[in-house]
């Protein structure tokens, strides 16, 4: 198994990419720490992992708060003895996120608190744990919009994911000699609740699909498989990367219908 004897902490694991990654990592032998603010969703993820024969615990953690970020790392070490994989996946896309003129400061601040400070705090407290374990892998969820401007205004979200890319590159350079790899996972448009609540008509979905060369939305399971690669030793020479899993959307200027 690709993650045998590894301990992985995944934030935002109560749903979507986080849940699918928890299940996939556990399938490959990892012990899982599920972190989320959604207690019901987190508990369900743990139950699914255990039902499939894996090991998992749930920790309530608002990643934007230092004490809670520190506590989730402590829970991993106290329960499973170490931490090998840190997947900073938690994030939000606010319904009122718009352009610079129309986005309220409160929306900007909340988005940055979760999407950027949350990654920083995960690394602040998680990196010492990885050092104690002799190294490991950090995966930070960014987005394809961090490298390709979104035509539909979502300035706070896009800016936050660009910050995650910059943070990832610097952390990778700093910690490379410590056997700690840091990579940014950049999903394209996915068939998840987060996106589908915006693309809530067939017309809206088709307007987005025309830009994706593969002609379909990605699935959370596909992103989980990409995360598994970055978590495993199969990516042992990969660090500081902008790992795009986007159906080709960033490779195409236009796509024929």
Which residues are part of the catalytic machinery?
Answer: 157
Rounded CA separation 192/185 (Å): 16
170: helix, strand or coil:
helix
Rounded CA separation 84/68 (Å): 19
Cβ(186)–Cβ(244) below 8 Å: yes
What is the DSSP annotation of 105-144? Answer: HHHHHHHHIIIIIHHHHHHHHHHHHHHHTT-EEEEEE--G
Rounded CA separation 136/83 (Å): 8
245 phi, psi to nearest 5 deg: -130, 85
- In total, the chain counts a number of residues equal to 257
Angle at 180 between CA 176 and CA 181, to 5 degrees: 80
Q: Which of 86, 30, 80 is nearest to 61 (CA)?
A: 86
């Amino acid at each position: 198994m690709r993650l045998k004897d590894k301990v992985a902490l995944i934030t935002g694991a109560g749903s979507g990419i986080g849940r699918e990654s928890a299940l996939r990592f556990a399938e490959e032998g990892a012990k899982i720490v599920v972190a989320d603010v959604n207690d019901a969703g987190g508990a369900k993820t743990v139950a699914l992992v255990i039902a499939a024969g894996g090991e998992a615990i749930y920790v309530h953690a608002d990643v934007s708060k230092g004490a809670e970020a520190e506590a989730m790392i402590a829970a991993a070490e106290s329960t499973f003895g170490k931490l090998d994989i840190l997947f900073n996946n938690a994030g939000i896309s606010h319904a009122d996120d718009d352009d610079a003129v129309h986005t309220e400061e409160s929306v900007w601040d909340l988005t940055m608190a979760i999407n950027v400070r949350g990654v920083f705090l995960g690394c602040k407290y998680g990196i010492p744990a990885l050092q104690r374990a002799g190294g490991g892998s950090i995966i930070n969820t960014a987005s394809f919009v961090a490298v390709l401007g979104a035509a539909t205004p979502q300035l706070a979200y896009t800016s936050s994911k660009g910050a995650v890319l910059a943070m990832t590159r610097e952390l990778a350079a700093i910690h490379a000699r410590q056997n700690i790899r840091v990579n940014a996972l950049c999903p394209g448009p996915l068939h998840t609740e987060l996106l589908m609540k915006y693309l809530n008509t067939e017309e809206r979905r088709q307007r987005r699909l025309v830009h994706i060369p593969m002609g379909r939305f990605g699935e959370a399971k596909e992103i989980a498989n990409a995360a598994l690669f970055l978590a495993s030793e199969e990516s042992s020479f990969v660090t500081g990367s902008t790992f795009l899993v986007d159906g080709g959307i960033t490779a195409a200027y236009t796509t024929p219908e």
